[in-house]
Amino acid sequence: MFWEQLKALNLDLFNITSIIDILLVAFVLYRLALLIKGTRAVQLIKGLAVLLVATALSSWLHLYTFHWLLRQTMTALVVALPIVFQPELRRALEKLGGGRFFATPAVYMAEDDRSRTVQEVVRAACVLSRTRTGALMVLERTTGLEEYMDTGTRIEGLVSAEFLVNIFVPKTPLHDGAVIIRGDRVIAAACVLPLTMNADIGKELGTRHRAGIGITEVSDALAVIVSEETGTISLAVEGVLARNLDESTLADRLNGALQLKQGRSLAFFWLRK
Ligand SMILES: Nc1ncnc2c1ncn2[C@@H]1O[C@H](COP(=O)(O)OP(=O)(O)OP(=O)(O)O)[C@@H](O)[C@H]1O
């Protein structure tokens, strides 16, 4: 039936294969873009694009010596890149082998699973707040946070409030640093995050809050911070810190921020389901 419809549309096998080909390439490029977004590989790709354009232009304008110089630089880069980016390449290959290339970020999860994750994170934050236990929980959205996960200890356990509370118990091995959550999994704990350099942030805020804000400046992640000193719960989004949140406000904001932005990657969302 489907086949006949396609024939009626005058599409031959070559065209169908081409469509599949294009879709596959688009899918792989999209996943790669997600993987490198927010990492130092982005700068590298921008640099390479500039070099490529300059090489093409120099050839077109017959600037032979300059063109020769650029070509030599490109050749040297092809040799140097695998060495410089060895950790990133290894990580990408490990992911591919471990099936994590296809892991689902929370924004692409089914509504029920996502709200369960939010519920558990909020419950953990409230318990930690009551007991004045310092905590930093990062929820990955579309930017890959692999490089920060690698600074901590891999866990890959299902998110639950009890589990999260347990991680932040003082003097236990994983309590220092941040927990990073992808979808419904705690991927890593004791992770080191970049500190914000924003001078406008209150002097009373220490490194936990600065690290929480910092990660949201270099990625689209969300950071839930519980203060050890005051027990207050804060949420950092896109470099902005909302402080003193109560349970329902935190849940609303997390749910809102994790919802798939309208019109964004709906085809991919469908693929994930
Ligand atoms: N770069 C970082 N990445 C992740 N966690 C960090 C980082 N720097 C500090 N931390 C965490 O923050 C803790 C220190 O918090 P600090 O008291 O300086 O911050 P704070 O913002 O004042 O928070 P609190 O209100 O809980 O005291 C460290 O023990 C560590 O767990």
- Does the beta carbon of 195 sit less than 6 angstroms from any atom of ligand 1? yes
Residue position matching structure tokens 């979808």: 183
Q: Share the mean pLDDT of the chain.
A: 83
pLDDT in tens, 34-56: 767 656 677 778 888 899 999 99
% of the chain surpassing 70 pLDDT: 79
Instruction: Please name the residue whose Cα sits nearest to atom 20 of ligand 1.
Output: 206
Burial class of 146 by CB neighbour count within 10 A (0 to 12, 13 to 18, 19+): buried
261 pLDDT band, cuts 50/70/90, is: very low
Assess contact for 179 and 165: CB atoms under 8 A: no
Work out whether strand 135-139 and strand 178-182 pair parallel, antiparallel, or are unpaired: parallel
pLDDT at 266: 39
Q: How far apart are CA 136 and CA 176, in angstroms?
A: 9
ipTM: 0.95
Lowest-pLDDT range, 83-87, 239-243, 255-259?
A: 83-87
- Does the beta carbon of 170 sit less than 6 angstroms from any atom of ligand 1? no
Say how many Å lie between the CA of residue 207 and the centre of ligand 1: 4
Task: State mean pLDDT over 156-162.
Answer: 93
Give first-to-last CA distance, the chain, whole Å.
25
Tokens (6 digits) for 27: 């899918």
Single pTM value for the model: 0.67
CATH 3.40.1700.10, the chain: domain bounds: 114-272
Work out whether strand 135-139 and strand 222-226 pair parallel, antiparallel, or are unpaired: antiparallel
Ligand 1 pocket, mutate which of 167, 176, 196, 208 (most atoms under 8 A from CB): 208
Residue 191 CA: which ligand 1 atom is closest?
Answer: 4
Per DSSP, 135 falls in state E
Tokens (6 digits) for 243: 């402080």
Residue 177 CA: which ligand 1 atom is closest?
Answer: 5
Q: Which CATH superfamily is domain 114-272 in?
A: DNA integrity scanning protein, DisA, N-terminal domain (3.40.1700.10)
pLDDT in tens, 103-130: 556 666 677 778 899 999 999 999 999 9
99 pLDDT band, cuts 50/70/90, is: very low
Q: How far apart are CA 36 and CA 164, in angstroms?
A: 28
4 pLDDT band, cuts 50/70/90, is: low
Q: Which residues contact 223 (CB under 8 A, 6 or more apart)?
A: 136, 137, 138, 139, 178, 193, 211, 212, 213, 215, 216, 235, 236, 237
